[in-house]
């Protein structure tokens, strides 16, 4: 699998790198790890990948990555697109941008963006 980033995700990653070089490196490395295995996993050091279950039930195969020990409060939203053999990163967001407390608000921009990308998934991750 290969990893592709939306233009928004590229901008967001660049901002994190500008704010804190170490966080930017950890974030970029974690995103690249999605090429190895984008399936659900929970590790002891605060790294986890999980499906966004409510959207999966509606047919949108969105997942999120977090790594609390290296970039606390940051979530990477991505779509595994098996027909294109790729993982498409829709965005990199602060936890507060996704909802309050333990609940996601699916009407917020990060989720609306992810659903928009899901609808056109077959045109994403084009290789040259």
Instruction: Note the pLDDT of residue 77.
Output: 96
Model confidence pLDDT, tens digit, residues 19-32: 999 989 999 999 99
Whole-number pLDDT of residue 127: 63
Give the model confidence (pLDDT) of 108-128 as tens digits.
999 999 999 999 998 998 765
Model confidence pTM above 0.85:
yes
Question: What span, in angstroms and rounded, lies between the C-alpha atoms of 29 and 13?
Answer: 11
């Amino acid at each position: 699998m290969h990893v592709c980033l939306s233009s928004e995700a590229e901008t967001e990653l660049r901002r994190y790198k500008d704010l804190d070089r170490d966080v930017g490196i950890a974030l970029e490395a974690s995103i690249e790890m999605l090429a190895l295995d984008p399936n659900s996993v929970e590790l002891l050091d605060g790294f986890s990948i999980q499906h966004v279950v409510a959207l999966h039930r509606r047919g949108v195969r969105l997942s999120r990555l977090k790594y609390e020990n290296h970039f606390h409060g940051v979530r990477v939203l991505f779509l595994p697109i098996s027909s294109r053999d790729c993982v498409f990163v829709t965005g990199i967001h602060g936890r507060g941008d996704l909802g309050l407390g333990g609940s996601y608000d699916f009407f917020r921009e990060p989720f609306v963006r992810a659903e928009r990308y899901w609808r056109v998934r077959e045109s994403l991750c084009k290789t040259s």
